[in-house]
Amino acid sequence: MTFEPIWGAIIAWYLFLAGLGGGAFVTSAFLGWRHPEAVNMRKIGHLIAPIVVIIGLVLLMFDAEGGLHNPLRFALLLTNFGSVMTWGVVFLGAFTVISIVVVVLDFMKKSVPVWLDIVGVVFAVCVAVYTGALLGVCKTFPLWNNALLPILFLVSAVSTGAASVLLISIFKHADEFNRVGVLKKFHFCLPIIELVLIASLMFITSFNSPAGWNSVMNLLIGSYAPVYWIGLVAVGLVLPTALETWLLFFSPKEFEESRKAHWISAASDAGVLVGG
């Protein structure tokens, strides 16, 4: 007999926050590589990472009600390395420790060693991919049981992580925000990649089986359609792409650094987070 998990909104938030935390750390590492002068923006990414991941872990513990009554169940997760959940605990635990160490180094005004940055990025990517792999092993859910899902979750994690760093930086460190053009262009590409991956996921799933077709139709024209088309496609993907296309490629250079442009960028980044 096969048992499949029953997961609700709490687990959805946990997966979202875990991915966002990993994406924020990756964004900080990217800034260190291409925009080393954006010191404060790097610190924002470093701070976001452990905070949101820890909140997500608290939500996970709250959802695992039996684990709260019997804490040994959490320890037993580390005994089955044939389970995706076990690897998730390893990735999340290691990433949380690394991200906290990095934040401490920032508060002590010490530079983060390159090797620690690299190790942090590796575990951040593992956390982001794991969130998709966790759903992907559920064979009775056609839209989850797809090899594209971990890749989609990775792209979404980096996109939401970058959006969170950029959104806070607009209001806290606008001078640095104006100078991170490479990050903005990289972030601009991510919603487009997500659209392609989502379309591919829908296409493959719909032709896999009758259950897959019904799942896709339920998302496109069924009970989940309003959230899908408005929350994800319109607000989360199309709106940010349209706004950033105009700001990056068609607006005057002097306007790009104006306060009005900052508000447009903030709306774009907020949309990405809603879509995530």
In the predicted model, what is the mean pLDDT of residues 56-73? 68
The 10s digit of each residue's pLDDT in 216-270 is: 898 899 888 999 999 999 999 999 999 999 998 888 877 888 899 999 999 999 9
Q: What is the mean pLDDT of the chain?
A: 87
Helix H or strand E segment including 106 = helix 84-107
| Distances, alpha carbon 176 to alpha carbons 3, 57, 184, 243, 257, in Å | 50, 32, 12, 20, 11
CATH superfamily of domain region 9-275: Formate dehydrogenase/DMSO reductase domain (1.20.1630.10)
Let me know: does 62 contact 10? Beta carbons within 8 Å. yes
d(CA 82, CA 100): 28
**At residue 195, what is the residue type?**
L
Contact 40, 156 (CB under 8 A): no
pTM: 0.89
Separation of alpha carbons 26 and 46, rounded Å: 9
Q: Can you give the residue ranges of every domain in the chain?
A: 9-275
The one-letter amino acid at 258: S
